[in-house]
């Protein structure tokens, strides 16, 4: 059960996040049992989501009404958080000052890395933490109050879920491994049977198999120097970057330490802390880089490689051949995965139950609502009731995914 407690904590921290809400405003985007969800908090969460997609999946933001899609997800999250806050308050969950202090220290630890240099700077962590609060228009006192609510929710969920989550048995993990193995070895008969009997489980097995294929594929560890090139860059500026890349290669050939060259020249600031080190999985990197990385011998440094985003110089540091994975290799990981899935589902079901009993009103209007309005008007009363029921179970379905 201790493992389940740790999983509950991990999931709740992921759900709660470390979003720093903005100053209190009068306008709201929804109410939960009469308690408003402020527009300022919604805007802050949405901006954070947009920034994450800009870094991880910018193509998503190019599709029509992408911001509306994110906005609806943010509303769901904020409603869920408020439902949990209110439930914790109703249960009179107590939070100690020492728990809040520990939580603050945990968050501050995330500011150890100086984003400007990519280096660890523990002494500057407090300053960067306070700057983040200031940027969001939030006082330290207000932040501690919010953190106290988040901790109360975590303690509430530990109490509610400890007895309701069924422990993962070895048979459960072995059954999942057999499904994953069937996908990896393309056992058609087993896959078709699983698709018919439990399509959700098949998707689960396919996702795990895809991850395992990446982890067990041929890999190479490289040092990486990157010079960025943008689409709007003038040809003469691109040429300068190319000449600089050739100069860097010559300096390395003449005896300059590769790690020193990374620190001096690379434009990938996030890679500075690791000295430019990264792992490449065969077939995943851009073709030109992939071919060079897996053909060069260990210790060799490539000539400048051109890609769509710039010039790259890589040093081959280590290679690992493709390998197979047995049940014993991943038994603990599979058991942990199943336990986490059960925790997530239990949380989603608890939130859905709270939602069913709550008075929730969403007042924000999205740009795409105008497109959905004609469809909504054409529904009869039973269809509208079904739609409302479906909306209430969105959180549960999201957790299953």
Complete DSSP assignment for 232-288:
T--HHHHHHHHHHHHHHHHHHHTT--HHHHHHHH---GGGGGGTTEEEEETTTS-HH
Instruction: Decide if 161 contacts 350 (C-beta within 8 A).
Output: yes
Residue 376 confidence (pLDDT) above 80: no
Write phi, then psi, for 44 (nearest 5 degrees). -65, -45
pLDDT, one tens digit per residue, over 247-268 is 999 999 999 999 899 989 998 8
- Please tell me the predicted confidence (pLDDT) of residue 124: 87
Q: What are the distances in angstroms from CA 53 to CA 17, 95, 218, 273? A: 16, 34, 29, 23
pLDDT, one tens digit per residue, over 45-85 is 899 889 888 877 888 888 889 999 999 999 999 999 999 99
Interval 163-185 mean pLDDT: 92
Domain 2-165+330-400 part of CATH 1.10.4030.10: yes
From 13-17, 58-62, 184-188, 307-311, the region with the lowest mean pLDDT: 13-17
- Please tell me the predicted confidence (pLDDT) of residue 16: 45
- Please tell me the predicted confidence (pLDDT) of residue 315: 94
Q: What residue spans define the domains of the chain?
A: 2-165+330-400, 170-216, 219-320
As a CATH number, domain 219-320 is 3.10.50.40
With cut-offs at 50, 70 and 90, classify the pLDDT of residue 5: very low
- Dist CA 276 CA 226 (whole Å): 9
- Please tell me the predicted confidence (pLDDT) of residue 387: 45
Q: Write down the pTM of the prediction.
A: 0.64
Matching residue, tokens 């759900």: 15
Provide the token pair at 265: 């020249």
pLDDT, one tens digit per residue, over 111-158 is 988 877 777 888 888 899 998 888 877 889 989 999 999 999 999 999
Residue 21 confidence (pLDDT) above 60: no
- Dist CA 216 CA 149 (whole Å): 42
pLDDT, one tens digit per residue, over 307-361 is 988 999 999 999 999 888 899 999 999 999 999 999 999 999 999 999 999 999 9
From 29-33, 72-76, 210-214, 367-371, the region with the lowest mean pLDDT: 367-371
Provide the token pair at 54: 């800009």
With cut-offs at 50, 70 and 90, classify the pLDDT of residue 284: confident
| Mean pLDDT for the chain overall | 84
Interval 19-33 mean pLDDT: 66
Percent of the chain residues topping a pLDDT of 90: 55
Structure-model confidence comparison of residues 340 and 401, the more confident one: 340
Instruction: Decide if 281 contacts 272 (C-beta within 8 A).
Output: no
With cut-offs at 50, 70 and 90, classify the pLDDT of residue 28: very high
**Among the listed residues 250, 295, 292, 257, the one whose alpha carbon sits nearest the alpha carbon of residue 276:** 257
- Please tell me the predicted confidence (pLDDT) of residue 317: 94
Provide the token pair at 187: 């056992």
Provide the token pair at 210: 């895809």
**Among the listed residues 201, 174, 9, 206, the one whose alpha carbon sits nearest the alpha carbon of residue 106:** 9
């Amino acid at each position: 059960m201790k493992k389940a407690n740790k999983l509950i904590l991990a999931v709740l921290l992921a759900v709660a996040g470390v979003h720093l809400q903005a100053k209190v405003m009068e306008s709201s985007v929804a109410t939960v049992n009469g308690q408003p969800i402020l527009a300022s908090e919604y805007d802050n969460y949405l901006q954070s989501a947009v920034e994450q997609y800009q870094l991880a999946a910018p193509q998503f933001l190019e599709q029509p009404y992408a911001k509306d899609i994110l906005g609806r997800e943010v509303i769901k999250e904020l409603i869920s958080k408020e439902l949990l806050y209110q439930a914790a308050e109703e249960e009179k969950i107590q939070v100690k000052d020492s728990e809040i202090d520990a939580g603050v220290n945990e968050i501050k630890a995330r500011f150890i890395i100086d984003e400007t240099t990519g280096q660890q700077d523990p002494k500057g962590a407090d300053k960067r933490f306070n700057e983040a609060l200031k940027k969001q228009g939030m006082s330290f006192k207000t932040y501690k109050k919010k953190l106290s609510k988040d901790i109360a929710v975590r303690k509430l969920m530990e109490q509610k879920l400890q007895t309701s989550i069924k422990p993962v048995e070895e048979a459960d993990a072995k059954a999942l491994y057999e499904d994953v193995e069937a996908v990896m070895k393309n056992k058609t008969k087993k896959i078709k049977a699983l698709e018919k009997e439990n399509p959700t489980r098949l998707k689960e097995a396919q996702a795990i198999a895809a991850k395992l294929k990446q982890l067990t594929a041929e890999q190479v560890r490289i040092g990486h120097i990157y010079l960025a090139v943008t689409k709007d860059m003038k040809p003469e500026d691109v040429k300068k970057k190319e000449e600089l890349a050739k100069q860097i290669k010559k300096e390395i050939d003449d005896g300059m330490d590769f790690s020193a060259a990374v620190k001096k020249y690379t434009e990938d600031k996030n890679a500075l802390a690791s000295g430019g080190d990264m792992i490449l999985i065969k077939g995943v990197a851009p073709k030109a880089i992939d071919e060079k990385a897996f053909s060069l011998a260990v210790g060799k440094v490539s000539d400048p490689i051109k890609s769509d985003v710039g010039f790259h110089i890589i040093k081959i540091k280590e290679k690992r051949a493709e390998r197979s994975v047995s049940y014993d290799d991943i038994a603990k990981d599979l058991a942990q995965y199943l336990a986490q899935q059960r925790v997530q589902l239990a949380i989603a079901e608890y939130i859905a139950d709270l939602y069913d009993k709550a008075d929730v009103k969403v007042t924000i209007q999205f740009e795409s609502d105008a497109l959905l309005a004609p469809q909504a008007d054409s529904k009869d009363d039973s269809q509208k009731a079904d739609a409302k029921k479906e909306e209430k179970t969105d959180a549960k379905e999201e957790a299953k995914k």
